[in-house]
Amino acid sequence: MRLHHLAPPALTLLIGCSPGPVAQDEASGTEVTGDESGTSTPTGGGETDATGGTGEPPVLDTYGFANGCFSLRSGDKYLAASADAKAFAFAADKAGAARFFMKAADLGTYLLYDQDRGYLVAKDGPLQRLTKLDSDVTLIDDSYVSGAEWTLETSAIDWAQYQLRNRRNDLLLGADALAAEGLPVTFEAAADCQPHPELTLDATGMVKRTKFDDGDLYGIVDAHSHILSNYAFGGGGLFHGGPFHRLGVEHALPDCSISHGELGRKDFFGYTFDASGADAADLSSLLPDLLAGELSKDNHATAGYPEFTDWPNGPRRSTHQTQYYLWLQRAYLAGLRLVVQHATTNAIICDFMIGEGIQKSRYGCDDMTAVDRIIDESYAMERYIDAQSGGPGLGWFRVVHTPAEAREVIAGGKLAVILGIETSNLFDCKLTPGAGAPTCDEAYIEAQLDHYYDLGVRAIFPVHKYDNKFSPGDGDRAFIELGNFANSGHWSNFTLDCPDPQVGGFDHGDVNFGGLNMPRDVYDSKAPIDNSAFPDAPLNTTTKYIAEILAPPLVGPYCQNASFTPLGEHLVSEMMARGMIIEVDHLPQWSYLRAYELLQAAKYPASGSHGRNNNGQLYQLGGVSTTGFGVCRDDTPGSTVQGFKDKIQFIKDKGGYPAEGFGFDLNGFAGARGPRFGDGVCPSPQTDPITYPFASYADDVEFTQPVVGNRELDFNTEGLVHIGLLPELIEDARRDAVDPADIEPLFRSAEAYIRMWELAEKRGAELGG
């Protein structure tokens, strides 16, 4: 997560058998149950006798109903809508039965969506028929559970049949209302259901190529991703849109006026980042709008599914989702095989927007609150995709915990996902602790690493934007300096006493807020300013220092005036002992150099997922970095991939595995690849636009024109609108390449990343043993 332009502002799984006959879905390459009509026929349990032979109910399949079409029968009565279409009851014959499309909300849990677009719902007891649902997203209420979700269970009355448990009430489906004892129900295959609203994949075929002839894995890594940023910043919609939602696309990607206000006028952060940029935003002109609680000018059209008038738009709309699960699946079909999913957030952005009453939150703004939720939701997303695919383990999205597991998943033709953390107040270890803060000593750090390792986290940034107990922040010169001031109570700490030569990163150059810079000799000295009131009164707290904030910048080659603390070095050492992936690219200059001293002493690799490599030392240690292609073509064939070819040669010269993948940082306020075509985009006329259909680099999947709802996308003039246009980005580069082999190292980047991880585990075992 770059934040280059920062404004100041279980379900317990039901045990079930395999879902009977299995067919391949050519669009996804994953296994689903069902006949050619899409109606699945799960196995029952009717052949088991009344006692089940063991005194326990038999295991009935609860997974194979996904995307099937069924009517519900209990005895000789069928579930049907009432005459006024406002309720449901078991009161009809077969001819009058409702026909339900079964949309999986989780493993074994479904939405029942009838032929006339109505849902079976129970809020307080009676069985209702609703055509519009509320959700935790539309209400901005984390406690809300929809009454439209039904979990399938073996009937307690007749073990050959099912009962339906309402997730909201934990009561069972009765004749016309919820009951403590549920009706036994049989699902009968039906026809002519109304499909539940969903986006299209715009691809056909299935993954076939998983390895190169030499045995190395085939696939691309996105080494820096933020799929679930909708759960950051208090989860209230400051970042709008989810990669999935239990109630479907209408709740994953709804109109963003819920949180961004009419025409996006409450989206201060997005406005500052997207329209003004880091250096152009005029704080003094924004103050009246901040006091009023909304922008004085229209920001963006808010329509979500199905119109999507102004978003998703990776290059231009930073506060909107770009990694919906079907978009991610389209990228996976193009060759994406490994993703590092970093939980990220920013407490100060959250506190500012919530504290000023501009937006709402669903839970606390503290960094680790969001991190914990994002980790949970990463596993929930895995279950959700499994549920759409027919059962546990059948989905194409797999969270992995070891490099061996990652190899197995990728070799099996699926997408491996590594969990990571990228946030400032890691483990709640603020530089200036607040009331109730933990004691961040060595024992605490070791316990936290063990805890998050047990949760599946394998990659960690020791520091992000703000100073913490481990290291100064990354030294970003944009609005982030104001956030650092609010977060720590310290003045900015930039100096001209920098490494020679300087090693760059975010920490270099002019200091925008010159009036805030008062370097200190002791990095972790007592804070001179009490900013504890910031969460409740952010603007009043900040504007006390308006003169310093509006002072002119300092011009010169500045850098952060400190390095790792002893606790920070202990963190790095303990990560090594656990074989974890150390992310070094947000370290400021002095900490960056010290990190490499520690890495070299331990002969330990690292990840430079923002593209830094310390003049090749990263590759000499077995580490990896990230790449990109040029945008504009010139008269020289292969001009957009020449930089990539040169980088691969550089890696090879330094002794590294000659491959490099992407670090898109999507949903991380870092922008996205723009278009080649359009007035003023490139200095010379561009030719050879993307046309359809085209085949994947592996020639196993065909891609057609991408659409989102009712909007057709054009990579040529819009760029990387969302992750699902990765096929177009690759095709654009492939067409410019002199030889297809020019971009082959991109498809070896998952192999490169896993080799780095394997080396980290090997060294960890040696260091920690």
pLDDT at position 26 over 50: no
Q: How confident is the model at residue 274 (pLDDT cuts 50, 70, 90)?
A: confident
Residue 285: band (very low, low, confident or very high) from pLDDT cuts 50, 70, 90: confident
Integer CA distances (angstroms), 635 to 629, 683, 685, 690, 739, in order:
16, 11, 10, 18, 16
pLDDT in tens, 526-536: 999 999 999 99
Share of the chain above pLDDT 70, in %: 92
Instruction: Tell me the pLDDT band of 562, cut-offs 50, 70 and 90.
Output: very high
Tell me the C-alpha to C-alpha distance, in Å, between residue 689 and each of 78, 227, 264, 486: 55, 29, 32, 47
Please give the average per-residue pLDDT across 557-576, as a whole number. Answer: 98
Instruction: Report the pLDDT averaged over residues 744-755.
Output: 98
Confidence of residue 282 (pLDDT cuts 50, 70, 90): low
pLDDT score at 52: 45
Say what the pTM is: 0.93
Model pLDDT, residue 644: 98
Residue 601's φ and ψ, nearest 5 degrees, are -65, -35
- The tokens of 29 are what? 């390459």
Yes or no: say if 153 and 165 are a contact pair by the CB < 8 Å rule: yes
Cα–Cα distance between 611 and 223 in angstroms, integer?
10
**Tens-place pLDDT, residues 159-206:** 999 999 999 999 999 999 999 999 999 999 999 999 999 999 999 999
Query: pLDDT tens-digit profile of 289-346?
Result: 999 999 999 999 999 999 999 999 999 999 999 999 999 999 999 999 999 999 999 9
Report the alpha-carbon distance of residue 198 to residue 619 in Å, rounded. Answer: 43
C-beta separation of 719 from 315 below 8 A: yes
- Predicted confidence band of residue 272 (pLDDT cuts 50, 70, 90): confident
Report the DSSP beta bridge partners of residue 136: none
pLDDT (0 to 100) of residue 33: 32
For residue 257, what pLDDT is reported? Answer: 98
205 closest CA partner among 698, 713, 732, 733:
698
Q: Give the pLDDT confidence score for residue 24 in this predicted structure.
A: 33
Structure tokens at 327: 């978009």
> Would you state the pLDDT for residue 42?
62
Do residues 195 and 102 make contact, with C-beta atoms less than 8 angstroms apart? Answer: no
pLDDT digits (tens, 9 = 90+) for 353-391: 999 999 999 999 999 999 999 999 999 999 999 999 999
**CA–CA distance, 241 with 528 (Å, rounded to integer):** 39
Tell me what the mean pLDDT of segment 10-15 comes to: 29
Answer whether residue 15 shows pLDDT above 80.
no
**What's the pLDDT score for residue 273?**
84
pLDDT recorded at residue 7: 32
Mean pLDDT, the chain, as a whole number?
A: 92
Name the amino acid, one letter, at 744. Answer: E
268 Cβ contact partners less than 8 Å away, ≥ 6 residues apart:
7, 9, 286, 289, 290, 295, 353, 358
pLDDT level of residue 243 (50, 70, 90 thresholds): very high
> pLDDT exceeding 90 applies to what percent of the chain?
89
Q: Which residue has the higher pLDDT, 35 or 526?
A: 526
Best CA proximity match to 195, nearest among 388, 13, 59: 388
End-to-end CA distance of the chain: 33
For residues 667 and 317, the answer to whether their CB atoms sit within 8 Å is no
